[in-house]
A and B are shown apart, each in its own frame.
Chain A
Amino acid sequence: MIPKYYEFLNSVKILSGDKALENIPYELKQFNASKPIILSDAMLQKIGTVDIVIKAIGDQLDTSTVFVDIPPDSSYKVVNAIREVYTQNNCDSIIAIGGGSVIDTAKGVRMLISQQAEDIKQLEGSEILKKGIKAPFVVVPTTSGTGSEATLVAVISNPDEGTKKEFVSYELLPDAAVLDVRMTETLPPKITASTGMDALCHALEAYTCLQKNPVSDAYAISAMRLIGEYLEKAVDKPKDKKARIAMANASLLAGIAFSNSMVGLVHAIGHAAGGVSHIPHGNAMAILLPHVMEFNMPKCEKLYGDVLLYLFGPEVYASAPAQERGRLCVEKIRQMLHRFNEKCGLPTRLRDDKVKEIDLLPIAEKAINDGAIVVNPVGATKEDVLEILKKAY
């Protein structure tokens, strides 16, 4: 179905596969940049991931400015502090190596530099940033889930208010995303499963929510096909390079899809659950997905039938009558989650992670203020969200 009107943009250059990291200097030199600030977190530095990237860059760029004090929840203070480091060291570009938090922090820094702003607070909003000063920006994701390397969104905490703030702007899109198996092959099976489910939620919600369009559908479908074929392989055999690079691509494709068609209720509740109970985002996605699919079933049954084909292949799809495919899709996803639970301990209920029963109401209250709820195909009130949470608990 063609929407009455839609917009789509993905300007991120994709470097994927063998020796992709070694091409970072070439990409930055295209922008006449030679002194990047390298952003990552302490853990990735400790396990040597940052060093792999620096070694791949070699002496072609000045890699002396490295900042790894980025907390798991990126914050205004860190973003403002990094901007100072960037200026003091005369950096001219940004390389972010990490997961969602590092990438979102880097997006915040890029925003400050390009908009010549002192404080990120001045830039809160949606689609309000004008083209600013060039600050070439390369992202190297170290998980296959967030898709943040290709999205126009950043979520950054404001510690003074104790809240998370969302920024939406095409100015947040990186210039290049570098997908290299060396970045993800050491991920343990549980994190692989959890982040993979995050990527699946991105693709599935992009494909079913109100802002869907033919171009975002193409990306979402490609992502779901890759996830269907490779996620379990990557969990079973972490060193399977083909599965790893396929999942990195799936995550990126899903990121492009949802950057242009947004995510829905699974994410609205998942963001809130993360904020209230600190449950890992991918775990929340995995637990909530089948319950939200059931909630959305009255409007999405046919689309979920399509998802059955993309995720589980033509034989499973053809084995079910058309009117049963949507429900079979939910059932098949549940079965997949139970396999992940048995193989690597991915939780299947909120109570098995960090969520307490007393948290459910605050999560519901927070979820209805998440932008993702606006584009969910079925309208959800606080009471609806609470009902879903109780089922998922």
Chain B
Amino acid sequence: MKDNKKFKRAIARFVLFLLGRGLKTAYKLDNEVREEFKAFPDNTFIRMNIAPYGPALAFSASGDRLCVYGGKKAKEVKPFIEIEFKNIDGALQVLLARIGIAEAYCQHRMLVYGDLYKTLGIIRIMNKVENYLFPGFIAKKLLVKRPEKEVSSLRFYLKVLTNI
């Protein structure tokens, strides 16, 4: 049973890694995403964490760069806003695209530490990244309304994979 949870955490760690790449890419390629980040003070961290043992993903925008931390480093930052999933199984529902962020919120799958109004910007950013990362038929199921893409998913994927 314990190993099963370990395996689930390993999957979550991998998906969070991809999500981090997706966030970095969206920050570079999508003007709306960069605009959304302006609502947060420079160099302050937003963290997504999975209780009780992680993994976590932390990110912070500053100028042209989005700094993304995983692993121990993500745990060490003092976040401006933290979204914490109550457990690994609830988190995987979202990370494996079984439900969208809005549905996860409806299902009380996560807690928010910090300003709830500003959290809405994070949700819009996540929706944008999901819309790039997932094929159309999945994105349609996950998102109440699909946001506009500023670049093609192909270009987005290439950037995510190469991380340049």
Contacts and interface: CB of A to CB of B under 8 A. Distances in A.
A373 B111 contact: no
A375 interface: yes
Given A126-B116, A127-B111, A165-B116, A374 B105 contact: yes
Contacts of B144: 210, 376-379
A369 B117 contact: yes
Contacts of A3: 106-107
B74 to A, nearest CB: 19
Interface of A is mostly: loop
A377 B144 CA distance: 7
Contacts of A163: 117
B143 A379 contact: yes
Contacts of A210: 102-103, 106, 144
Contacts of B115: 124, 165
A131 interface: no
Most buried by B among A4, A125, A166, A167: A125
A31 interface: no
B145 A128 contact: no
A7 interface: yes
A373 B106 contact: no
A163 B117 CA distance: 9
Interface string A131-166: 000000000000000000000000000000001111
A166 B108 contact: no
Contacts, number: 75
A330 interface: no
B106 A211 contact: yes
B106 A125 contact: no
Nearest to B120: A369
Given A210-B103, A371-B120, A373-B120, 20 more contacts: A7-B108, A124-B113, A124-B115, A124-B116, A125-B111, A127-B111, A127-B112, A128-B113, A166-B117, A168-B116, A211-B106, A368-B120, A369-B117, A369-B118, A369-B121, A374-B101, A374-B105, A377-B144, A379-B144, A379-B146
A381 interface: yes
Nearest to B90: A5
A237 B146 CA distance: 48
A119 B162 CA distance: 46
Nearest to A165: B115
Interface string A354-386: 000000000000001111011111111100000
